[in-house]
Structure formats: C-alpha cells, structure tokens
Structure 1
Amino acid sequence: MHDIPCQLYLISPLETGGDFPNQLRNALAAGPVAAFQFRVKDVNPEQAAELAAPLKVICDEFDVAFIVNDDIALAKQIGADGVHLGQSDENLKNARAELGLDVQIGITCHDSRHLAMEAGEGGANYVAFGAFFPTKTKETHHKPELDILEWWSAMMEIPCVAIGGVTPENCQPLIDAGADFLAVSGAVWHDSDGAAQAVRKFAAKLDVGEKS
C-alpha cells in the first residue's frame, strides 16, 4: 500500500471559457487539489492555448499540477506539468521524447491489468482505471472492479487514478481499495452547491482537511 493519502484530481468540463476561471479559482481555494486536467474537444490549437493559459496561471498560484489531455504539442507550448494520454493517443515513448523526463505522463488503462503493466514498464508516472461508476462526462466501454486498485497498489509504486462517475457519496470504496487519486469532473462542476462546496465534500472524505 502507498503511504500518501488519496488526493483529488480535477478534470475540466469541455467548456472552459466564460466564468470558468473563477469557478476553478474558487474550487482550488476551497481545499487541497493535487492536479487539474485541461480537457477540451473540437477547438483549434490557438483557441486551446488561449483557454489553457489563464487556467495554468491559477493552478500555478495554488501549486496544483496542470495536466493537458491528449495534446502533447499544447503541453509543450504552455509548459504544462503533465499530459494525459488515452490508449489511442500518441504513445508514451513519443510523449516522453518530446516532453522530457520532468513532465508527468498519465495513461488511461480502462479495466486492463495488462495495459497498466505496459504503461508502468514504459515509464508512465501514473495509470488511470475506469469508469468505476456511470458517467455522463464521456462515453465509456469499460467498468473495472475494485480489486484492480487493490492489486495495483499492492504491486506497484506508481500511483493509480480512479475515474468515472466519482462523487463524495460513492468514493469511499475507491479510497479503501487503494486509489491514489480520485479523478472528478461532473461531481464538482455540476454540484448544485457550487464547485467550492463540492471540493469541501471530497476533502472531508479524503481526510485531508479544509482551507478556511
């Protein structure tokens, strides 16, 4: 088992313009967040960079790792802390060669122990398993069981991320099974009480306290 407590890993909604920077700032101010993943679709590289830049400034202010989803070129352009790749994206070896050793690279492994082992042996900094629960954030075709988290945390030092429909109400089994990070999107940005309150709800479950 890993000694570091489970931490919160926020994933952006697809719409990150408008008032979203304020939402992000409020969320990060509300409680400990380890990482934020910038995930947008169907925007050109210039638009993506324009949207990402102010969000990275906010993350830097709160010492939160800024991770870019799927886009190695954007991650390099804006000096992101990391990039997250799916199984169909540019491969890990190419990403490492392009971004260097200091950038964190995460790999989606769905419900596959084989893919996770390949990612770990290939130099990934973390692996992500999911979707553990139904989610509207993105289409999913895989549903891992909790024992994949138990197996990974017992076998490997590389952290694992649990993703997919994670809420303050259903996350405890994931924490107990050994997830190092809870990747959350809708449960924070669509919380009826606001993103800041949602982060506080997760902080209470993660036993990492709150910021006043």
Structure 2
Amino acid sequence: MSAPSQPNTHAVSHCHLYLISPLDVTGDFPARLERALAAGHVAAFQFRVKAIDQHAAAALAAPLQAICAAHECAFIVNDDIGLAKRLSADGVHLGQADGDVRDAREQLGRDSQIGVTCHASRHLALEAGEAGADYVAFGSFFPSTTKASEHRPELAVLEWWQQMVEIPCVAIGGITPDNCGPLVKAGADFLAVSAAVWTGDEEANVRAFERAIAEAND
C-alpha cells in the first residue's frame, strides 16, 4: 500500500481492495483466504481477531501471513502494535484508542504501513497524517454487520482528502459491489471490506468487486 503519485490531479483514483478478516479465522479460513487472493488483486489483508492472547493470535496469523506474502498482499494487524512487531507484519491499523502513530513508528520502523481510523473527521485525519500515518480510514459509509459505528461520513470527505493530501484514504463500512461505485468515483484509494467477501463465495465476491471498481473507473 503506497501513496498515489499525484492524488490531487486525477478525477478518479485507482482503487484497490483491502480485505478485513472475520473474527473467526480457524478451520478452513486459510484456504478461503488463498482463494480470495487468487481471485483478483488485493492490496492488503487486515488480521482482526479479538479476545485471545498474543500467543494464540500469532499461531492463527502465521499461515495467513504466509499466504499474503505469496500473493504480494500486505499483512496488516488490527489494533495491536505489539503483535504486529512480534509477527514482523507489514503494518498495523490503529483505532482512535489503540495507540499513537509515532509510538507505532518507533516500534515497527519506517517501512511499516501504519493506518488510522478517522471516522468522519477531517481533523482526526489531518492529525494522523501529520503524525506520520501511511493512510487514513473514513467510515462507516454504510451500515455494517461487521462493526457497529454511529459515524456516517459524506462522500465529500473523500473528494476533499484527494484534493488536499497525498497519503491514501480508505473507505470502510458496509461496502458491497453494488454500493461501492460512488466511493471509487469520490476518490477512495482502497475499499476495506469484510462481510461482503466472506459471506458466500469469496472468489466470486472478489471478482464482483473488481468488476464494480473497473466500471466506476470508466
């Protein structure tokens, strides 16, 4: 995941998928991830598990991290700087209460991808950028079955970000192939999706997103 070269000069960003794991990554999930990544281009995968200790999380992460590496897909850890460091992950995604960008940079190094949830706030996004974040995430744009949120940003925040700031922005929250077009047109560099891929056939769902993104880019 890297910044577009001139995000303030193009009308439509070249948008990519950013997959977020379900909370349960046991059982056949590694095989499902393999199928999803083989189905199309996925820029990043966020490892998001809750209520387990770091040792157990690391054991679950290992095969998923190897699959991501084989597909040149960035492996991002949700919320946990310590786990990201333990795994030598490609990066960490921080919520507003999950740690400081500067601390994460010090612990993980200059090459780590550090993202920050900024809800619907331009102020929080600018603060994250000034602190050295590699990307900011706005959402939830639509009601989500994955994570509840009272924040509903307008499309204008994506347009404003592309005009003002060079680091990428991620749109998140209830995004599907049917509703993602306006987000792509507004300038989202990445679409963070979970249920819309992992519910049903992950291969078909990834392909459906690729078609929808391509249509929005036309």
User: TM-score when scaled to structure 1?
Assistant: 0.95
Q: Contact 2:180 / 2:213 at 8 angstroms: preserved in 1? A: no
4+ runs deviating over 4 angstroms: none
CA distance in 1, matches of 2:97, 2:33: 29
- Tell me the equivalent position of 1:184: 193
1:131 to 107, 129, 140: 140
Residue deviations 1:116-143 (CA, integer Å, cap 9, x gap): 0000111000000000000010121211
> Within 5 A, what are the aligned runs for 1:141-156?
141-156=150-165
Letter in 1 for 2:105: R
How many correspondences in the alignment? Answer: 206
1:20 Cα deviation after fit? 0.2
Letter in 2 for 1:200: R
Please tell me whether residue 195 in structure 1 is matched to residue 212 in structure 2. no
Identity value in percent: 62
Question: Partner of 1:138: helix, strand, or coil?
Answer: coil
CA distance in 2, matches of 1:71, 1:44: 11
Q: Contact 2:169 / 2:189 at 8 angstroms: preserved in 1? A: yes
1:206 Cα deviation after fit? 1.9
User: TM-score when scaled to structure 2?
Assistant: 0.92
1:207 Cα deviation after fit? 2.0
For structure 1, the 5+ residue unaligned runs are none
> Within 5 A, what are the aligned runs for 1:67-78?
67-78=76-87
Letter in 1 for 2:145: K
For structure 2, the 5+ residue unaligned runs are 1-5
CA distance in 2, matches of 1:31, 1:98: 32
Residue deviations 1:29-56 (CA, integer Å, cap 9, x gap): 0000000000000011111000001000
Question: Partner of 2:211: helix, strand, or coil?
Answer: helix
Letter in 2 for 1:64: C
